[in-house]
Amino acid sequence: MFNFKTLKLTKRCDSESTNSFVGIRRGANNELEFRLPHGFDDFPENDFDATKNLFFKMYRTFQKFERDSTRDILDTRSNGKDQIQKEKDGYRFKNKEDNDVVLYSKIALIENLLDVYRDLALDQMERRIGADEKVDYSKIDRYLDRAIYLSKDVIYIDEMDLPRQTLRYESTTLIDLFCFIVSELQNELAHDIEPRVQELAHRFSEQHLSHEESLFNEETFETTIRTLKGVLDDIDKRTAYKDEDYWRLYDAIETFLYGELDMDNPHEDGTFWGISNFSSVWEDMCSTFFFYTDFKRIIYADTNIIFNGQRIANAKSAGYFPIYKKEDFADPFFIEFRGKKRWMRPDLVSEDNDIFSVSVYDWKYVLIDCFIRSNKKMQLDITKQLCYEFSLKKLNVNNEVSSCFVIPRFGNSFIDIKQLHTRFQHNKLDVITANFLETQQIYLTHD
């Protein structure tokens, strides 16, 4: 397991790369780098807990995005299976803008451990055949050869091999070690921990660790890892009989304790943990946040997220793309020319706030610099936003429409519209920042 204290953080402000990759990969110097999302310039350096918490939240985020996205493609497209290519520990597919997305959401050292935990029945593994001091008189004839013959035709049998729930020292310690690691992981992943796993993990901690030692504590990480490696080595030396279950547990623990990330290439095109196009994740995060905070006002959303266990989409745009819209809302987002319609899909439209009867939101996974300096993408984004406003005016010319772009930011901050390109002021467009961690938490808790 890698040490969060020594994991190098790469921020956009100090990175030459402008792509939207977020995750961990090896850099040019073959060292592990955690590339942070856009807007994380103020993320603290050398902060073990902050880095650890972000890693596990991103781990859960990628898992949720994988479940939702692959299921979405398979559920909504007749040729869905052709849209998903299984990669090593991940997937390659097209997002709704038809952009290529490569997602590696699995880390072998964690996944192997959790897979073994899901597959094996720990209570059954604790049961063994062992010697018992009780005597079953119905089977006494089978033990005459082991009996001690006393005077007056009396025989003495000190033990029989009978089924009972007994624990071998080495096997028991292996199970306890396994449960300790699983419980520590599940705690960081915000998973429920089974009482039996907690019990065995506590027993291991009591016997082998001091009170404050933990796997994911900055002060005790290295000493705890060393202790666990020593216990595993001792178990392996002292265990004579090693069955299939033993090796599954042993291999999963060994991979966790000694492994890092399986990355074959040290450069940009190598295997990584993360996602090549984080904008797709950011869009789902923002949509989930707005459906949580402003559901009653949403009249249109270009999304098919899973919210509280259900797909949110209830209609289709242009007869193909799944969207959400209120039943009485007539989709106006098209431009008609010579009898043909060219459809558009804004990210989200809400109605009836304090100042404007409509507001159009566009999720943008970009740096604030993209809205300060003139560039082709900014010009195109502004033009699209004005087209959305024009389409809404067709429904009601008296509509007061506001438009804004939403970009990620670590922490809370506000953007002075005066620092933006002059086209934003001329067209009354706004750019707002969304607190990344708050948005992410909503995304993770409304599965």
- Give the model confidence (pLDDT) of 22-33 as tens digits: 998 877 777 888
Q: Which of 243-252, 261-270, 319-328 has the lowest mean pLDDT?
A: 261-270
- 291/402 same-domain check: yes
Is the pLDDT at 169 greater than 80? The verdict is no
Domain final residue pick, 258, 290, 313? 258
| Residues 102 and 142 both lie in one domain | no
Are 81 and 139 contained in the same domain? no
Residue 3 lies in a domain: no
Average pLDDT over all residues of the chain: 82
In a domain, 324, yes or no: yes
Q: What is the dihedral of CA 112, 116, 118, 119, to 10 degrees?
A: 130
> Quick one: pLDDT band at residue 268, thresholds 50, 70, 90?
very low
In a domain, 332, yes or no: yes
Together in a domain, 337 and 436 = yes
Kindly indicate the confidence band of residue 437, based on its pLDDT and cuts at 50, 70 and 90.
Answer: very high
Is residue 240 situated within a structural domain? yes
Per-residue confidence band for 436, with pLDDT thresholds at 50, 70 and 90: very high
Domain-terminating residue out of 204, 227, 258: 258
Domain final position from 188, 223, 258: 258
358 within some domain:
yes
Q: Are 401 and 328 found together in one domain? A: yes
Total domains in the chain come to 4
- Can you read off the two tokens belonging to residue 264? 């074959």
Q: Is residue 122 part of a domain?
A: no
Strand partners, 363: 406
Is residue 117 in a domain?
A: no
Same domain, 266 and 252: no
Residue 430's pLDDT is 92
The average pLDDT across 351-359 equals 71
| Average pLDDT, integer, range 218-235 | 94
**Within this chain, do residues 145 and 205 fall inside the same structural domain, yes or no?**
no
Please check whether residues 196 and 70 belong to one and the same domain: no
User: In whole angstroms, what is the distance from residue 298 CA to residue 359 CA?
Assistant: 9
Cβ atoms of 260 and 32 closer than 8 Å: yes
With a cut of 50, say whether residue 323 has pLDDT above it: yes
Shared-domain flag, residues 297 and 434 = yes
The pLDDT, as a whole number, for residue 297 is 92
pLDDT of residue 162: 47
Helix, strand, coil: what percent of the chain each, to 5?
40, 20, 35
- Evaluate if residue 266 carries a pLDDT over 70: no
Band of residue 267 on the pLDDT scale cut at 50, 70, 90: very low
Q: Please indicate, yes or no, whether residues 209 and 330 belong to a single structural domain of this protein.
A: no
**In terms of domains, do 198 and 71 share one?**
no
Of 31 and 441, the one with more pLDDT: 441
How far is the C-alpha of 95 from the C-alpha of 69, rounded, in Å?
A: 8
Read off the pLDDT band of 94 (50, 70, 90): confident
Range with the lowest mean pLDDT among 167-171, 198-202, 228-232? 167-171
With respect to residue 134, please indicate whether it lies within any of the assigned structural domains.
yes
Residue range 141-166: mean pLDDT, rounded = 64
Percentage of residues of the chain with pLDDT beyond 90? 41
Is there a single domain that holds both residue 252 and residue 362? Answer: no
Domain span at 370: 279-445
Query: What phi, psi does 23 have (nearest 5°)?
Result: 150, -160
